[in-house]
């Protein structure tokens, strides 16, 4: 499974990208607003840090304006993916942009039917929001599993499932088990995936034993 970092904090992205586990980045107007910087400048800087897709979201709500904004954003860098909402206008924009060779991330997906429509419109990625479904008492992972089954039923559908609204490490684990192609996670969640008490205890024991030898590798 690929990992995208869900942030517009360039310092976080740079540090995490150095580990080799970051395959892309997702942003949105809210995340960029928190940085207090110019949207285009932030997206351009992020695109230079990672080789994979960087999702930049349109703010328009009608199809023609979405396409116009999307084409402008796509000029920032070759690895920009345009994020559009899962509405009829969003699907029209998705079709137009994808046919023009631009990657499209269709966001705010909450049903397998919506995911099927997005795939038929040419979406590169579909973003089901796991956490928000959990918030209303549903199991967000059921949606990932349903979309995986639907997509696997049809060879012509190549849209990747991008598990979004991930809140914790269990969401990541379950998304991987369910067959999500990508998980987009906040930096703190990605950092937390490496934590395990036995790892820490094991390392402490190794270091203690090494110190007793009085040796040095360097």
Residues with a catalytic annotation lie at 83
Residues 73, 126: Cα–Cα separation, whole Å? 19
Grouping H, G, I as helix, E, B as strand and the rest as coil, residue 67 is helix
Which helix (H) or strand (E) is 198 found in, with range? helix 197-213
Q: Tokens at residue 176, please?
A: 């991987």
Residue pair 140/147 in contact (Cβ under 8 Å)? The answer is no
CA distances from 65 to 72, 84, 147 (A): 11, 11, 29
CA distances from 20 to 3, 15, 16, 131, 159 (A): 10, 10, 8, 26, 24
Which helix (H) or strand (E) is 4 found in, with range? strand 2-6
Q: Which residues are within 8 A (CB) of 70 and not within 5 positions of it... i.e. 6 or more apart?
A: 58, 82, 84, 93, 97, 102, 104
Residues 113, 36: Cα–Cα separation, whole Å? 37
Residue pair 211/154 in contact (Cβ under 8 Å)? The answer is no
């Amino acid at each position: 499974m690929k990992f995208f970092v869900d942030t517009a904090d360039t310092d976080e992205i740079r540090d995490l990208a150095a580990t080799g586990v970051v395959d892309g980045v997702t942003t949105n107007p809210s995340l960029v607003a928190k940085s207090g910087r110019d949207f285009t400048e932030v997206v351009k800087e992020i695109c230079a840090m990672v080789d994979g897709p960087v999702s930049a979201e349109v703010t328009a709500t009608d199809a023609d304006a979405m396409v116009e904004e999307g084409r402008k954003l796509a000029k920032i860098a070759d690895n920009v993916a345009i994020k559009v909402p899962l509405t009829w206008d969003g699907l029209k924009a998705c079709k137009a942009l994808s046919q023009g060779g631009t990657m499209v991330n269709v966001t705010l997906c909450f049903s397998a039917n919506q995911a099927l429509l997005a795939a038929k419109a040419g979406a590169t990625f579909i973003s089901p929001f796991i956490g928000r479904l959990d918030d209303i008492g549903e199991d967000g992972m059921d949606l990932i599993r349903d979309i995986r089954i639907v997509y696997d039923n049809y060879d012509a559908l190549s849209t990747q499932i991008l598990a979004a609204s991930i809140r914790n490490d269990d969401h990541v684990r379950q998304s991987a088990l369910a067959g999500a192609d990508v998980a987009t996670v906040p930096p703190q969640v990605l950092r937390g995936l490496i934590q395990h008490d036995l790892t820490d205890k094991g390392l402490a024991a190794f270091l203690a034993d090494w110190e007793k030898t009085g040796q040095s590798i360097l």
